[in-house]
Amino acid sequence: METYFAPADRATPEELELDLARVNNNPVIDGLMHSVGGVLAVLNSSRQILAVNDSLLDSLGILDAKATFGLRLGEALQCTHAHEAPHGCGTTRHCASCGAAIAIVASLETNVPVEKKCIIRTKKNGGETDACFLVRSCPVTADGQRYLLLFMQDITTQEKRAALERAFFHDINNILSGLLGASELLLLKHIGTEEGFPLVKTIKQLTTRLANEVTIQRSLLHSGLAELRPAMHAVNVAELLSEVRTLFATHSAAKEKTLHIEWLHADAPIHTDGSLLLRILSNMLTNAFEASEPGDTVRLWLEKEEGRLCFCVWNPKKIDDAVRLRIFQRYISTKEGVGRGTGTYAMKLFGENFLGGTVDFSSSATEGTVFRLCLPISQPS
């Protein structure tokens, strides 16, 4: 039979009936069909469907599982290419690059599990749509016959988000490069002039901070931390604290609350990455403000220890005992809602792994909560 990829032959009606009986009467396969939460199908050696679970039926909008029996995967999913060749799914020109077809054929040939990503264009609601699945094909034996367990995870949303994020960071970096260049030229033009210089300097600082924040956020999001290189330099602590004060003067989390900064030890010399340090302090203060009530005061002060300068942030609330043991774990948060749990994780990660300091905290009902970042003090040259 003519085919461009997988064998074209199918089971005879009699063989299909026997396969269906073996699969439906097998307690192990039946248990899997009723216990696996994701999309699951059972195929024969001709790649035809013998059983599907409810998740697959729901995704296909099919009420009766029997409607899928004997079909191949692409035919059940209504792949737009499934009927481009006389013998259907697996035999068309497009099938040689289909992740699902490759996984199924490879696992049949090697008799080992094979996992591939499958991007499929399907007919749905009178139109066409692209979907992405992670497909794992696992050979099993029942009553002396070989079958395939086909696990499918819909990763369309994750793939779409990853593509959008990649495009966003690419475009925003191009825009920021232009802004940085323009702000530098503008700053040079206004040096030595009183009119406009403070504003131009502020624009340059904000643009630089934004560019650094985008780099840090991209590293956090993609876990591409190996590409993050701290720019270690002498940091003026007093200027840094002034920048923090400006940042939280209009911050939404600080609304109806007060930030009190103590300036003792602000002249201590430290050699670190100012952008990462500002990011850590911002996270510490944001968390403190979000944990506070209107009218509360959040405090930021410095402590000098032997060879170290510690940045301390206090708020009057206690961290719940159920959370405090895992406070630095990613995705753990004291606040409701998705997308939380990176603030304290980032503090620990950047403060210790990249800046060579320590990050810790203490919390009680009587003393409130204090987060501390301690960094080495620069030695005089």
CATH of residue 289's domain is 3.30.565.10
pLDDT at 207: 82
Instruction: Flag residues of the chain having pLDDT under 50.
Output: 337-339, 380-381
Same structural domain, 137 and 266:
no
Same structural domain, 262 and 169:
no
pLDDT at 381: 45
Same structural domain, 251 and 315:
yes
pLDDT tens column, 245-295: 988 988 999 999 999 999 999 998 899 999 899 989 999 999 999 999 999
5 in any annotated domain: no
Q: Tokens 């934004």, residue?
A: 210
Same structural domain, 251 and 111:
no
Same structural domain, 128 and 237:
no
> Which residue range is the domain that position 375 belongs to?
230-381
Same structural domain, 20 and 112:
yes
Non-local CB neighbours of 249 within 8 Å, separated by 6+ positions:
none
56 in any annotated domain: yes
Same structural domain, 26 and 171:
no
pLDDT at 201: 77
pLDDT at 335: 59
pLDDT tens column, 179-220: 888 888 888 877 766 666 777 877 877 788 788 778 777 776
pLDDT at 120: 92
Same structural domain, 17 and 142:
yes
Same structural domain, 217 and 347:
no
Which CATH number belongs to the domain containing residue 81 in this structure? 3.30.450.20
pLDDT at 224: 52
Number of independent structural domains in the chain: 3
Same structural domain, 236 and 362:
yes
pLDDT at 209: 77
pLDDT at 339: 43
